[in-house]
Amino acid sequence: YDAAIQGAGLDLENVNYMDSSGLGVLVALLKELRKIGGDLKLISLPVSVKKIFDLTRLTKFFSIYNNLQDAMK
């Protein structure tokens, strides 16, 4: 891995649907980034996708932002 990359942002604005497979990929990516002291910022979640994160309580583990400007602060 590249030690210089410690975080990532993922814009989900155009994602209309996410199932358990998609959640699993994001959780795995978050785990790998946290192993190296990083974080995964999720940006612009549509209401339907945000609802999935709320129902699964994954909002406790992910950094979620309304827009790119907020994520970059």
Taking 70 as the threshold, does the pLDDT of residue 52 lie above it? Answer: yes
pTM above 0.75, yes or no: yes
Query: Tell me, what's the pLDDT at 1?
Result: 47
Q: What pLDDT band is residue 66 in, cutting at 50, 70 and 90?
A: very high
Length of the chain: 73
Taking 90 as the threshold, does the pLDDT of residue 73 lie above it? Answer: no
Sign of the C-alpha dihedral computed for residues 33, 58, 69 and 73 taken in this order: negative
Q: What pLDDT band is residue 4 in, cutting at 50, 70 and 90?
A: low
Segment (H or E) for 64: strand 63-65
Tell me which residue of 4, 8, 18, 15 sits closest to 44, measured CA to CA.
15
Tell me the residue type at 28. A
Taking 60 as the threshold, does the pLDDT of residue 44 lie above it? Answer: yes
